Amino acid sequence: MTIALWAPRVDPAFAAVIDAAVAAAVAPDAERIDREDVYPLAAVQALARAGLTAAGFPIEDGGGGRPLRDLVAVFEAVAAASAATATSLVTIFQAGAAIQLFGGEALRRRYLPRIAAGLVCSFAMTEARGGSDVRHLDTRARRGDGGWVIDGRKAFVTSASAAELFVLLAQTDAGVTAFAVPADAPGLALAVTPATRTIGLRNGPHVDLTLDGVRIPDDHRIGEDGHGVRAAATVLDHSRVLVAAIGCGIARAAFDGALAFADHRVVGDRHVIELQGIQWYLAELLAEIDAARLLTYEAASHLDAAGPTHHLPREAPARRAGLLDIQRWSASAKLVATRTAVHAALQAIQICGVRGCLETAPFGRYLRDAKTYEIAGGSSEVLKNTLGDYLVAAVDGPG
C-alpha cells in the first residue's frame, strides 16, 4: 500500500493545478538553475500563465483573488521542486503586495496586471550597513522636478539579474519611504561581483543595485512619505508565511528522497527502512514536518482572517492587537519551518550515506537552500526578537 504523505491542505482541484504546473515547468530545470545560478525565467513565465504568480492579487487587478492559505500551497509545491524558483516568486509577491496594499490607484493600475502577467520584480530593503535594521538608510530620495530623485546602493537584491521592476526603500526627509523604480530608469545599474553569489537560493546572483540620480514620478512613491518601514514590515509579515511554505517544501523533498532511498537500499540482508535507528530518524522528521506544515497553514489562515489591519487608523487598539497577532504567526511559521527544512536536509544526507553526499544528489541543494532561508527575509534571531516583543506586550509590559 502506498500512502500519500502530504495530503493537500487546500482545495484538491487547485492543488492538482499547482502540481501539474510544477511537474511540467519547474522540476525539470531545478538542478540546472541551481548549478548555473541563473534566473528561472521560463518556469516563472509558465507559472504566470497558469495564474500562480499573482494568485493572491484581487481579480480586478489581474490576480486570482485567492487567500494566503492557497498561496502557501503554491510556494510549498514549487519549493519541493526548486526553492530557487520559489524564491523568485517571493520577490514578485513582495513587490506586488507593496503596490497592492499601499500604492496609489495609478500605480496599481499600471503595474499589478503586468505583474500578474509575469513581470519580474525585486524587493530591495537591505544595504551594506543595514540588513536586519532598515530604520535608517543611506539611499536617499529627495523631491525634484515634480517627482523624486534617488541616489544610493541596495545590497543582496534577489531576482535583480532579471527584474523589470524594483520596489525599494530609501530615506527621505520624512523618514524611510518605499518607491517603485522601473529597471530601465536612467541611472539605475546592477553591480554583479563574486560577493553576490550565494550558496543557496541560487536564482541568479543577489546583486547590488546602484542608483545615480534616478528620477521617478511622484505616483511611484508607495504609501505615505516616511511610512516605508511599516509598509515593508506588513509585506514581510505576509511573505514570511510564504517562506515558511518554502521551508515545508524543501523539508518534504528531503524527506521523500531519504524515504525512497531507505526503501530501496539493501544493507546486508535488510532494507535500510527496516533498521530501527533509521526508522526513528524518519519518524522524528515526519512529526516535525507535519508540525511545520500545520503551523504554516494555520499562520496563513490567521493572516487571511485578520485582513488588511494596516488600513485601520494608527491609534486603533484593534490595529495594534491585530498586527501583533500577525507578527506572532508569521514569525513562528518561518522560524519553525526553515529550521525543520535544515534538519530534514541534514538527516536525509545521513540516512542516504555516501549517496546523500554526492554532487549529483539533490540533498546538498536542499541543505544550502534551507540554511540560506534561516537568514534571508528576516533571520531566525530577528524572528525570535519579534516573538519576544509579542510576549512582552502579552504580559502588558515588563514588571
Ligand X SMILES: Cc1cc2nc3c(=O)[nH]c(=O)nc-3n(C[C@H](O)[C@H](O)[C@H](O)COP(=O)(O)OP(=O)(O)OC[C@H]3O[C@@H](n4cnc5c(N)ncnc54)[C@H](O)[C@@H]3O)c2cc1C
Site residues for ligand X per CB under 6 A: 91, 122-126, 131-132, 156-158, 198, 201, 206, 372, 375-377, 379, 381-382, 385
The DSSP element (H or E) to which 55 belongs, if any, is: none
The DSSP element (H or E) to which 102 belongs, if any, is: helix 83-102
Cβ contacts of 375 within 8 Å, gap of 6 or more: none
**Of 384, 371, 290, which is closest to residue 335 (Cα–Cα)?**
384
Closest CB 65 distance from ligand X, rounded Å: 26
Closest CB 198 distance from ligand X, rounded Å: 4
Closest CB 148 distance from ligand X, rounded Å: 19
User: What separation in angstroms does the CA of 295 have from each of 42, 235, 244, 248?
Assistant: 32, 19, 9, 10
Closer residue to ligand X (CB): 123 or 297: 123
Closer residue to ligand X (CB): 307 or 388: 388
Cell representation of residue 63: 490576480
Closest CB 263 distance from ligand X, rounded Å: 33
The DSSP element (H or E) to which 64 belongs, if any, is: none
**Of 176, 258, 255, which is closest to residue 221 (Cα–Cα)?**
176
Closer residue to ligand X (CB): 131 or 187: 131
Closest CB 383 distance from ligand X, rounded Å: 9
Closer residue to ligand X (CB): 73 or 367: 367
Closer residue to ligand X (CB): 124 or 248: 124
User: What separation in angstroms does the CA of 300 have from each of 185, 224, 236, 244, 374?
Assistant: 36, 27, 13, 10, 19
Closer residue to ligand X (CB): 100 or 122: 122
- State the Cα–Cα distance between residues 12 and 10, nearest whole angstrom: 6
92: number of Cβ within 10 Å: 25
Closer residue to ligand X (CB): 15 or 370: 370
Closest CB 127 distance from ligand X, rounded Å: 8
Cβ contacts of 287 within 8 Å, gap of 6 or more: none
Closest CB 239 distance from ligand X, rounded Å: 10
Scanning the chain, the segments in alpha helix (DSSP H) are 12-21, 30-36, 41-49, 68-81, 83-102, 105-116, 228-264, 276-306, 317-352, 354-357, 363-372, 380-394
